[in-house]
Structure 1
Amino acid sequence: MPTVEFNRVPPAGRPGGPPPPPTPPEPPRRRRRLPWVLATLLLLMLVGGGLYAVAPLRNPLPAPTVELTLPGTMKIPGAAPKLPWPRSGQAMISIDGLGTVGTSGGSKSLPIASVTKVMTAYVILTEHPLDAGEQGPTLTVSAEQAARYPQEQANGESLVKVAAGERITERQALQAVLLPSANNMARILAEWDSGSIEAFVEKMNATADKLGMTGTHYTDPSGLDPTTVSTARDQVILASKAMALPAFAEIAKQKQATIPVAGTVRNYNELVGRDGVVGIKTGSTDEAGGCLVFAAIVNVAGRKLTVVGAVLGQPGANTPVQLDRVFAVTRSLLRSTSAALGVHTLVEAGQQVAAVHGPLGSGTTITAAEKVEVVGWPGLEVRLDTRIPTVPSRLAAGAAHGQLSASAGEGKPVGTALHSGTALEPPSTWDRIRHHR
């Protein structure tokens, strides 16, 4: 059988065989991974940086705070007035609604003579009020009261003539008490009001306690008794209260009046109608010396102020000398007090009142829109009330924001509106991010 021979192909790579196929290249694994790593790093940086930048923006900004740059009280600049105080006795000068200008002679309780009748009239008018110009109820002088007149006259008392059965109105009786200083009419009024002089004196002392007259004690309604004592301070307190009663003020400023039986009576206070004096009462005895409680109206820059004062214990051999001395002292005190009063500027227009501190160093100021002026004297303490509402995060320049007022004593406050200075703006986003870093 014939032999068949197959053609065999030599293995590749052997002599005479076909060339081996090319070896495929190894995949570039490292080159493929690098872009992904870089992209991942960049993404992390962006996300991390974004979170870093957003973090401060998530937190609310603190509200602006206000720091006052004016104190709560100020004194009118300048030296306190030096008044011509009496060499002896006791004295005090006050301005209604503002306070005490000054005092002299200490606070010892002294006899006050007929100045006592200020309290007598005050109690009568508070128990039996009178409207302006009203005569009020009618009193009848009893036979017993009229019978006391000769002995009272023999004692050298200050009196008005009375008669049994005399009918006199409350206003006329008060005129007799306050103008010619009638001791007998003070007793008649006391008995009319309370039934007895003793009961009325109790009312006088109760009223003194109520008014805070700590150095005062009354033992009679006329002041003839030297054990009726008070102080200049206490009498100024009472005088201010009494002059607030329209009927009292009307009577105290009269130079004369006409009453039944006695006829025309004259005011012993010779200062009434001079130097602005509008009242109120004289007093004079050997024990008390010359005494005067007074009120006067002074005009300061178109504003009327009431000066109230008391001068006690002025020496002299008799009533005319004592009263002349107390009148002279009072005139000097009034003129010096009037000269010391004036208009004073406490805060200038545009003056800073407060500083506003905003977040991240932002801020502005609060300033007075107009100047603040007060009437008073150098050394007078004035209260300042600064009211600034909550400051918003954005406040325009020159915006009205708050009020400043000034007041002394019980006087009416004066003030001005407050304005912002430069504009207050909240920090920008970039400022917040930058500040956070």
Structure 2
Amino acid sequence: MLDSATTQVIGPIPTRSPGRRRARGSGVLISGLLALILIGTALFAVAPLRRPLPAPAVTRAVPASMTIPGKAPVVPWPETGQAALMVEGVGSLGRSGGSKPVPIASVTKVMTAYVILTEHPLKRGEHGPKLTVSKERAAAYPAEQSRSESLVPVVAGAVFTERQALQAVMLPSANNMARILAEWDAGSIEAFVEKMNDTAAALGMTNTHYTDPAGYDPGTVSTADDQVLLARRAMKLPAFAEIVAQKQATLPIAGVVRNYNSLVGQDGVVGIKTGSTDEAGGCLVFAAVVKVGGRKVTVVGAVLGQPGANTPVQLARVFRVTRPLVRTAAAAVRVHPVVRAGDQVALVQGPLGAVTTLNATEDLNVVGWPGLRVRLDVDVPEVPARLPAETEHGRIKAVAGGVVSAAVPLRSGVELAAPSTWERIRRHR
């Protein structure tokens, strides 16, 4: 029995309303959905930012090549024989007379001197080692003289420096000194001739064959094109270029000797070598220096097979047909602008539509003549997403005759701006 003093009245136990439970459940669900939507939106917005932007695309706005406008020069080629004409670092002005190998007489000595100087280099003004005339070479002199060969007097035991020997070969065209040099270098004429032919093959002189170091033997044959190729290489040797430009020199025993090439010193002519025999006719490999636009340009050419009854007539003929070639080349070569300062060279398109240009900073000038084909090479490194205005980036080069004749930098136009975060999100919706 319960004590009435401690008895408590206990009412009914309250319960949760079913409606409230449902309301709270719905709120949680809605909150979850909103969270998912917000997360999805964020992920959708962030996704484009995770993708790297492609590099700006560069499109060239100039042609791959162009021809200098105007009337091409008319070259006064000789009526007979072969001829070829080249402007160093620019290109060929052409050739005439075909490409059949023909005797070249003492023009052979260009290869003789080239081999000697590549085997025994000399600096400008340097005399180099000494060589002594052997008894055998001295004894051969009377027989050589009886054949009316071009010679310098020698005696057994005479001493020549390398430079003096080369002067004897290249100025008065001494056949005997060419043979002396050959034996000095290779031990025998036959071994030296082998060197000459190996060198010709290495230089790409495919229509040339040497049988002696002097050119007296008509079996030594070549073409005007091949001789121009050799002359261009030989003129890069300082001592060679120095010697062939001399009008005279003083040698042991002989005293003062003169250059057979009477064109030296006229019309900018600085060499190179004459040649004449009954089989070869009058021959000349020549070089001339002309000034164009503040720079010196070398014209190299060859004329072979000019007729005549004897050496004086043959050489007079070859000089007469060479002068117009030199003067025509000198008159034809000028400075020509192929791209002007400010010209658009390339268009740069950013990944989201931003655009700028790359323009030449100055005139791109080439030395050449009307009708000459010039290649235009555009070199643009990868462009960053942001490229400020007036920023140097890349360059354009003009290539004539396989040689880069000029190059100028490129500069950006308006700023190429990197896209903002909002632009990246908006463009990828």
TM-score normalised by the chain length of structure 1? 0.83
2:186, 2:425 → 1: CA distance? 85
Contact map agreement 2:153 2:253 (CA 8 A) in 1? yes
Code of the residue aligned with 1:70 in structure 2: it is V
Q: How many aligned residue pairs are there?
A: 403
Q: 2:387 aligns with which of 395, 419, 425?
A: 395
Alignment of 1:170-181 (within 5 A): 170-181=162-173
Aligned match of 2:251: 259
Query: Which residue of 33, 36, 47 maps to 1:58?
Result: 47
> Deviation digits for residues 362-421 of structure 1, max 9, x if unmatched?
322221222211212233333433232333333333333332233334645532222222
Aligned amino acid, residue 58 of structure 1: A
Q: Does 1:159 align with 2:148?
A: no
Report the secondary structure of 1:254's partner residue. coil
Deviates more, 1:67-76 or 1:234-243: 67-76
Q: CA deviation at 1:187?
A: 1.5
Q: Contact between 1:53 and 1:433, CA under 8 Å: does it hold in 2?
A: no
Q: Which amino acid aligns with 2:276?
A: S
Distance change in 2, residues 1:391/1:199 (3 Å): closer
2:355 pairs with 1:363: yes
Tell me the distance in 1 between the aligned counterparts of 2:154 and 2:73.
48
Alignment of 1:35-434 (within 5 A): 55=44, 58-59=47-48, 60=51, 61-409=53-401, 411=403, 413-426=405-418
Counterpart AA for 2:47: R
Partner Cα separation in structure 1 for residue 161 and residue 420 of structure 2:
82
CA distance in 2, matches of 1:433, 1:194: 78
CA distance in 2, matches of 1:426, 1:109: 64
Code of the residue aligned with 2:298 in structure 1: it is: T
RMSD (Å) for aligned C-alpha atoms? 2.9
Q: Please state how far the C-alpha of 1:45 moved relative to its aligned partner.
A: 11
Native 8 Å contact 1:113 1:223 kept in 2? yes
> What displacement does 1:191 show?
2.0
Given the superposition, is the C-alpha separation of residues 147 and 434 from structure 1 closer, same or farther in structure 2, using an over 3 Å criterion?
closer
Q: 1:139 to 1:356 in 2, by over 3 A?
A: closer
Q: Which range moved further: 93-102 or 246-255?
A: 93-102
Whichever residue aligns with residue 136 of structure 2, its letter is: E
Runs of at least 5 residues in structure 2 that lack an aligned partner in the other structure? 1-18
Offset of residue 145 of structure 1: 1.9
**Cα distance between partner residues in 1 of 2:424 and 2:197:** 72
Shift of 1:266: 1.0
Task: Check 1:289–1:130 CA distance in 2 against 1; reply closer, same or farther (3 A cut).
Answer: same
Stretch of structure 1 that moved more, 230-239 or 372-381: 372-381
Q: Which moved more, 1:306-315 or 1:49-58?
A: 49-58
Q: Cα gap change, 1:432/1:288 in structure 2, threshold over 3 Å: closer, same or farther?
A: same
Asked if the contact 2:348–2:357 (Cα under 8 Å) also holds between the matched residues in 1, the reply is yes
CA distance in 2, matches of 1:366, 1:142: 69
Identity %: 66
Q: Distance in 1 between matches of 2:337 and 2:372?
A: 13
Q: Which moved more, 1:212-221 or 1:135-144?
A: 135-144
Give 1:272 shift: 0.5
What is the letter of the counterpart of residue 373 of structure 1? Answer: N
Change (3 A) 1:417 1:185: closer
Deviations along 1:66-121, one digit per CA (max 9) or x if unpaired, are 11222344333334322111111111111223332211111111100010111111
Deviations 1:342-377 (A, max 9, x none): 111111111111112234433222212222112122
Amino acid at match of 2:321: V
Question: How many angstroms apart in 2 are the aligned matches of 1:68 and 1:376?
Answer: 24
CA shift for structure 1 position 177 = 1.1
- The separation in 2 between residues aligned to 1:185 and 1:66, in whole angstroms, is 62
Q: Partner of 1:270: helix, strand, or coil? A: coil
> What TM-score do you get using the length of structure 2 for normalisation?
0.85
**Does the residue aligned with 2:156 lie in a helix, a strand or coil?**
coil
Change (3 A) 1:414 1:220: same
- Where does the alignment leave 5 or more consecutive residues of structure 1 unmatched? 1-28
CA-CA distance at 1:139 after TM superposition: 2.3
Counterpart CA distance in 2 for 1:314 and 1:76 is 33
